[in-house]
Each structure stands twice: as C-alpha cells, then as structure tokens.
A = this chain, B = another copy of it.
Amino acid sequence: MAKVNLHTVAAHAGVSTATVSKVVNGVRQGISAETVMRVQEAVRMLGYRPNRTARELRTLQRSIIGMTIVDPSPMFLADPFTTHVAAGLSNRLSEKGFGLLVHGVKPKQINDSFLVRETVVDAICLMLSGSAASRRSTIQLFADLGQPILVFQDKPSIEAADVCYVNQDDAGGADALARHVLRRNPASTLIVIPKIFWPAIEARLDAIWQCFKQAGRPARILRCDENNREAIAQAITDNIDRHGLPEAVMGSNDRIAAIALRLLTAQGVKVPEQVAVTGFNAFEPYSQDRVTLTSARSPAFELGQLGAELLLARLRAGAFERLEYTLPVSLVEGTSA
C-alpha cells in the first residue's frame, strides 16, 4: 500500500494540505464544521498517521527525552532504582505526548554515544555511576552539548545554567536510620555496601559514618560485589568470622539487608534482639520470619516524575527555574532495628 501523507488526504478531501494539517492538529479556528468532517472522514478512510519526523523538523522539537545510564553492565536497566526512575519519567512524559528514549552506555563509550554525537532528543537525563571525577567530566561533556541536562542522584558539580540536579535526600534518610540504630548504643556496627561506586550510596555511607563518629560509636565498612547474592552472603559471613558478630548491620539497600537478615537468622541470631538490621529503598515492604525490615523509603518513581515535569517546564520556559531539587526520604520503621 502506498504511503499516505498530508497530500493524499488533502486530495481525497478536496482541500489544501494546510487545512488537513490544522484539522489533524485540532486547530478548529477558522475552519467550517463541514470541512472538518470531510477531512476527518478522509483521514479515517485512508488510515492516515501523521509523520512525526516531519513535524519535528518543521517545529524543531523532537518531543523525546533521552535517558542515559552510564554503567559498566549491560544490565543497566535491571536495577530497581533506575527502573523506578525511568517508570516515573516515562509515565509523566507520556501524558504530554513525549517519549522516553533509554540508552545504556559503558563508561568508555560515552563519547561515541549517538545521544552525544547527534541531536536526537530535546533534553537528556543522566544517571551516573563511577568516581566523582569521572561523573564530573561526563556531566561536563553533556553540558557542553548545549541541550538541557537533568542529572539524577548526583551532587551538583558542574555549575551550568542548563544543568539541573534532582536528588533524594539520601543523607537525610541515612542519618535517620543511623540515629535509629544508635539508640541502642551498638558496640559494633557493620555497614555493607556494593563495590561499584554510585554517588547515592556514598552519600548514605557518609551520613551514617558522620553520625556514628559524632556519637563516638565504631563502625566498619564492607564492600562487596553486588551482582551476586552468594558473594554478598559470603562476604558478610567472612567478615563476621574475622571480626565477630556486630550489634547492627546496615545495608546500603534492602537487597543487601535482606541477605544479611536471612544469614543471621539462619545462624540462630535473633533480630533485632542480638543484631539490628537496616536497609534502604523500601520499594516494597520487606519482611521475613515475622520481622519486618527497618529501612528508608526512596522516592525513585517520584524522582522520575519530578524530572519529567522539570524538563517539560524547561522546554517551555527556555530555562530551568531552579537548578537543584531534593525529595525527602522517610524512615520506614520495621521490627528489624
């Protein structure tokens, strides 16, 4: 079947392409009801679907937002935090007829990413892992593109007018958790975090660390390979064998906390009586053997929604109203700590 375009419809309805364009776009101003009907009928009969590319070129906007996730693993989209953000973004963008283009890229390949090389979206969201220096240079790279950039979960490093930072209060959440744990004056605390460097995780760690320092309570840190459940369990077991049973275990996310919780109860350790356990994220309530996990609720979906709104507003207004936003993280009190 031949391509149906504005001309086909116009010819079929016996009007100009200008008129068809207006009808299709709902511009009823100065068009007779009868003409509208005739055009709509032609559209229906021919199964006409406007070519978005042409509209985009004409109006010079794509109505597509890019989301670049910099992660060494091709499974970038499997991380719950990331997917919650993406879901929130897509959700809000869709409502406004905008699309979300997701793009995972390995740290080495950022320069060759087609989102960098070409103008393919109206604005770009960034979700970065890696050291502060590498993140900084990545943000700089994107900032230099001359497109609006929105960075999720990162400390403002580049001060550019068109770079906006959307964070959750990881430090606040971690602080609340630490205070909660410190109420029992633990003689020893084990903090378990993933090896891969994510700024949000470091922010949580810092806050806990500060809090413990101020309270004059010791804590030790264990970094483990997050991709493997077994590896996490083994690392925790080894650490306990070497340094003894801590009085609290603080995981940097619920997954790690759940593994610790399971491991401890399997060894007959009572939670929270002997050991307090906390997690982070609380994307869904977590419980095990009647103990519910004390955690902090990450508003990741809301982060995505907010990001979408800010970007849409930026595109409309020509500038971000503010360059930094922080969403609160609330303590989820379970029975595990």
The residues of A with any CB-CB pair to B shorter than 8 Å are 1, 47, 49-54, 56-57, 62, 64, 66, 74-78, 80, 83-84, 86-88, 90-91, 94, 97, 99-105, 114, 117-120, 144-146, 227-230, 233, 262, 265-266, 283-290, 301
Contact = CB atoms under 8 A, between A and B. Distances in A.
A50 B228 contact: no
A105 B95 CA distance: 10
A100 B99 contact: no
Nearest to A300: B78
State the number of copies, please. 2
A50 B88 CA distance: 30
B288 A118 contact: no
Contacts of A283: 78
Contacts of A286: 229
Nearest to A263: B289
A86 B102 contact: yes
A146 B103 CA distance: 26
Contacts of A97: 114
A287 B285 CA distance: 20
A101 B103 contact: no
B87 A104 contact: yes
Nearest 8 A-B pairs (CB), nearest first?
A77-B87, A266-B289, A52-B120, A53-B56, A74-B91, A99-B101, A53-B57, A52-B118
A44 B316 CA distance: 30
A228 B287 CA distance: 11
A89 to B, nearest CB: 9
Nearest to A230: B285
A229 B49 contact: no
Contacts of A51: 57, 118-119
